[in-house]
Amino acid sequence: MTPHIADFLAYCQGPASDIYFQRAADTLAAAALDPVVTMEYFGDRDGLLCGMGDAVDLLRRSLDGAGEVWALDDGNRIAAREVVMRVRAPYSRFGRLETAVLGTLASCSGWATAAREIVDAAGGRPVISFGARHVHPLVGPIMEQAAIVGGCAGCATPLGAERAGLAAPSGTMPHAMILVFGDTVRAALAFDAHMPDDVPRIVLVDTFKDEAEESLRVARAMGERLLGVRLDTPWERGRVTVELVREVRARLDLAGQRGVGIFVSGGLDAERVREFVAARAPVDSFGVGMAISAAPPVGFTADIKEVDGEPRTKRGRIPGLTDAPRLERMI
């Protein structure tokens, strides 16, 4: 499918770069023009910066000592139109990287920004990113890393977890496994019997029966080995509601199962998470999918602001360097 990743820098400078940057490079070379330019990068809305580590890495290899870079670190909150990076170098050293640098910042900051909004909404309860299935597999793990930068406590794929420096990916059990077993309790007991001890015993309880009933069945069958139940009610059954969580909690407590946690997933976004938290619903953690992985990118732009030390920029922009005291020297 994608044969091209052996040399990522070359990939970004060539096949994955907008062709007109190559044409510009050729024209300028033919005209023997290669001034030192200062370029500034900014986003089109407030957000959480992410992807900068990878972007600076690309620039470092490309500049190879022939330029300077100032930037903000990943994880910084940024304002619309705030300068987040400044590069000063001969234009030929980095002009063709514009597509890759902007694209990296755009996607990653989009994901991190959405994650942060939900993490803030969750008010301290862990949020796990489960949306890898909604983005192309080439960027699924990168999306997860951005979600962790945005404050998520876990993610679903091994590579995502590795990139984010987590000990392990997170996961309970899919509906498919329970359907193959044909019974939730049977599936849960098999899972418990065969999984390593460090895999949390969280059982999905909405496949065959009402969640409250199934929670009690599983709890009775597994006893203290059960860490929690996952509620993922489909929209055809009204999704997970504050009332459902309260009832499952109450019925578990009545059955003496106060130690069993409740993990909620299924179409969650910041607004629904806020409703759970505002209603003090007894949720122990949240699993979030498309609200993070389908988040729109932050649109980034790069503007030349100086050419050979002289302020120069296109119509509509202010020539010369923008005041940006938060930037730090990276290269």
Candidates 227, 277, 294, 327: give the one binding a second copy (CB under 8 A).
294
Binding mask 101-130 for a second copy (x = CB under 8 A): -xxx-xxx-x-------------------x
Order of strands, sheet of 261-264, starting from the edge strand that comes earlier in the sequence: 154-155, 127-129, 285-288, 261-264, 228-231, 202-204
**Counting contacts by CB under 8 A, is residue 158 touching a second copy?**
yes
Examine residue 197 and tell whether it contacts a second copy (CB under 8 A): no
Token pair of 296 as six digits: 């729109």
Dihedral over Cα of 44, 46, 50, 52: its sign: positive
CA distance 319 to 37: 12
Determine how β-strand 202-204 pairs with β-strand 83-90. Answer: unpaired
Four-CA torsion 155, 160, 164, 170, nearest 10 degrees: 30
- 199 touches a second copy (CB under 8 A): yes
Of 123 and 137, which has the nearer Cβ to a second copy? 137
Q: How far apart are CA 28 and CA 34, in angstroms?
A: 7
* Shortest Cβ 69–a second copy spacing (Å): 17
Task: Please report the DSSP string for 302-314 in residue order.
Answer: EEEEEETTEE---
Report if residue 85 touches a second copy, rule: CB under 8 A. no
In the bound complex, what is the minimum distance in angstroms from residue 65's beta carbon to a second copy? 20
Residue 66 touching a second copy (CB under 8 A): no
Segment contacting a second copy (CB under 8 A): 67-75, 115-123, 170-178, 215-223? Answer: 170-178
Give the span between the Cα atoms of 286 and 273, in whole angstroms.
Answer: 8
Distance CA 321, CA 319 (A): 7
Closer of 207 and 257 to a second copy (Cβ): 207
Is there binding between residue 152 and a second copy (CB under 8 A)? no
Query: Does residue 147 contact residue 129 with C-beta atoms inside 8 Å?
Result: yes
Contact string 239-258 vs a second copy (x = CB under 8 A)? x-x-xx-xx--xx--x----
- Residues 38 to 57: which contact a second copy by CB under 8 A? 39, 51, 54, 57
Residue 33 sits in the site that holds a second copy (CB under 8 A): yes
**Of residues 37 and 69, the one with the C-beta less far from a second copy:** 37
- Residues 176-195 binding a second copy (CB under 8 A) are 176-182, 187, 190-191, 193-195
**């059990």: which residue's tokens?**
173
Both tokens assigned to 322: 């923008």
- How far apart (Å, rounded) are the C-alpha atoms in residues 77 and 60? 24
Question: Minimum distance between the CB of residue 5 and a second copy, rounded to whole angstroms?
Answer: 4
Nearer of residues 17 and 285 to a second copy, judged by Cβ:
17
